[in-house]
Amino acid sequence: MTTKENFVKAIQELKKLEAEKKEQRKFTQSIDLIINLKDYDIKKTTINTFVLLPHKIKEKKIAGFLEKKSNIIDTITKAEFEDFKDKKKMKKLIKEYDFFIGAAKLMPAIAATFGRYLGPAGKMPSPQLGVVMAEDENSIKSLMKKIESAVKLRTKEPTVKVVIGKQTDKDEDIAENAIIVFNEVFKNLPKAREQLKSVLIKYTMSKPVKVALQ
């Protein structure tokens, strides 16, 4: 089956092909992991979970729906929820932040006010990741640290696609992130790795490179 060494080789090949291009991109591209599945019925099995990576991909801008203002996170208190009935303010909020946390006591009100907007954007706090039981500094910091290293795995078709790094990251770090995601995907499937069709990696703007399967 696919190993860390297989991922490292594929990453090196991807970087080599990109370096050989005459025109270089003027921005740092992300590296995507694509896992194609077979014998997969999305109506019967849906992957919808978070996985914590050993190597952080990027800084995430996080806000909190809390009962009182916090000194360590941008805060929207319950008293301010009404302001976001204005669709322009709601759209601006969703665009400004990568993720949100919520106080457990406020979750019903958060769901009622923000759920229909944050849910489709993949930014809604949930028991999986994003709900803080107490609003003390340590609890908030601990949750923010988890979110910083988390990626969402969600299937809408027989394919899982997720960012596992940037082109400037070390090959080993990208490969270690890839292995964690790879293993997590098959924990969520009834036939596990028997349902693996192919594994690819690619830059944001490149053609994919196949990862060897053993």
The CATH code of domain 62-148 reads 3.40.50.790
Predicted structure pTM score: 0.80
> Which residues have a Cβ under 8 Å from the Cβ of 105 and sit 6 or more positions away?
67
**Residue 97 pLDDT more than 80?**
yes
Residue type, 51: V
Q: Residue 180 and residue 176: Cα distance in Å, rounded?
A: 6
Domain assignments of the chain as residue spans, ordered by start: 4-56+151-210, 62-148
Q: Residue range 80-105: average pLDDT? A: 92
pLDDT digits (tens, 9 = 90+) for 168-202: 899 999 999 999 998 888 887 767 777 788 999 99
Q: Residue range 92-111: average pLDDT? A: 94
**Residue 39 pLDDT more than 90?**
no
Chain-centre distance for alpha carbon 204: 15
The CATH code of domain 4-56+151-210 reads 3.30.190.20
**Residue 109 pLDDT more than 80?**
yes
> Which residues have a Cβ under 8 Å from the Cβ of 126 and sit 6 or more positions away?
none
Instruction: Count the neighbouring beta carbons within 10 Å of the beta carbon of residue 151.
Output: 18
Q: Rounded mean pLDDT of the chain?
A: 88
pLDDT digits (tens, 9 = 90+) for 138-161: 999 999 998 888 888 877 788 889
pLDDT at 69: 93
pLDDT at 96: 94
**Residue 1 pLDDT more than 60?**
no
**Residue 126 pLDDT more than 70?**
yes
